[in-house]
Amino acid sequence: MKTISEQLCRKVLKGLYFAQDARLSAERLADKYKLISSDFTFIDDPVWDTQCFMLLMRDGELLISFRGSQQARDWITDFAGWTVPYSNKETKIKLHWGFNQAYCHYARGQIHKFISLHSKNIKMITITGYSLGGSLATLCAVDLEYNNIIDKNLIEVFCAGNPKVGNKEFVDSFNKRVPKCWRTFNVNDIVPSMPPSIMGYQHAGLENPWGVKNPLSGIIEYFKCKELRKRSKFDMGDVVNHEINSYILYFERKLKSL
């Protein structure tokens, strides 16, 4: 893995923690963050099974955290990989149809409303997501910048283990519009390699890879690490290098070593 600063490591961990919390119920989230937030909302689109929560912190930071792939509907979204134009039919920018639908169908409108309601109090925005959630976080960030809802200098994105969102033209546009986006991934995790590059997809954001190439590393790490087994019930993601707890554990260890 390339060298990572202590500051970036802390931010990546913060993003992973919030992405993990996106798995919690609206009630648990509201209770957990009631002391540090001035407003909270949980967004749930039952049609596309898209969930995210929004927290406006008392210091003016707005957090948007998207839930990752958990239900069968999410995986249909992940693999609905044909592209559609972004914003107009003439553009060369193409997006993953499933991700675009999952974000735009309901969540996008609710996010816009929340930001409009609190625009005077927002000093910065952090957008996070893991797996499918990371792809939705990517779309959310460029949507807010493209539509002049949030200045790009106020946006930070921390996505992890996420599939690709669009083609080269999308990536070029995204990286100009959202320069502060860090994409964290385990080099052995197969999910970030999807959809395949042969379909024209590329990754957006600044790369933050970790791990050493070994397809068996997930199952090896799971059985040798008591910490990992204690943190969650068994998940197939544990042994195929696509489990958020593995990501969190790695960066917790990394932070201690810096």
Q: Print pLDDT tens along the chain (258 aa).
A: 567 899 999 999 999 999 999 999 999 999 999 999 999 999 999 988 899 999 999 999 999 999 986 443 444 444 545 455 555 566 788 888 888 989 999 999 999 999 999 999 999 999 999 999 999 999 999 999 999 999 999 999 999 999 999 999 999 999 999 999 999 999 999 889 888 888 889 999 999 999 888 877 777 776 777 766 665 555 555 556 888 888 998 999 999 999
106 in Cβ contact with 47 (< 8 Å): yes
This prediction has a pTM of: 0.89
Q: From CA 223, how far away is CA 243, in angstroms rounded?
A: 14
161 in Cβ contact with 184 (< 8 Å): yes
> How far is residue 163 CA from its own chain's centroid?
10
143 in Cβ contact with 103 (< 8 Å): yes
94 in Cβ contact with 84 (< 8 Å): yes
CATH match of 6-214 with 3.30.499.10: no
Q: How many residues does the chain have?
A: 258
For residue 84, what are the β-bridge partners? Answer: 95
Q: From CA 23, how far away is CA 100, in angstroms rounded?
A: 21
Nearest to 81 by CA among 180, 195, 181, 5: 195
